Amino acid sequence: MATKANLLIDQGTTFETTVTITDDDGGTVNLTGYTAAAQSRKHYTSNTAYNFTVSVNGALGQVLLSMSANTTMSMTAGRYVYDCELTETSTGKISRVLEGIVTVTPNITR
């Protein structure tokens, strides 16, 4: 089951957040041997996706999501949905580990 984590992104800025993945008992999950991908869309059926750059710190059980200022500037202010999936490289098994709402706040300074 995916962890719910809502994100706040300031339009036109570099975004970065780190999430630690834990098991049902609150222990950190070892993510060694996993790769990750994450996208945000205006709604679940939208054809337009905004890709996060994702890196995994396996030993610490951390997933780092980031987006460039150019990418966040191209997003219209408002609400989006996102998720992050991990792929176990040895088996190809895919698991959703994060999901939630992204709120993009409007940029004033241009």
pLDDT, tens only, 22-76? 888 888 999 999 999 999 999 999 999 999 999 999 999 999 999 999 999 999 9
Distance from C-alpha of 110 to C-alpha of 94, rounded to nearest angstrom: 40
Kindly indicate the confidence band of residue 87, based on its pLDDT and cuts at 50, 70 and 90: very high
The residues with which 4 forms a beta bridge, in sequence order, are: 99
Kindly indicate the confidence band of residue 3, based on its pLDDT and cuts at 50, 70 and 90: confident
Domain spans of the chain, in order of start: 3-105
CATH class of 3-105: mainly beta
- Indicate left, alpha or beta for 58 from its phi (over 0: left) and psi (-120 to 50: alpha): alpha
Amino acid at 29: V
Mean pLDDT for the chain overall:
94
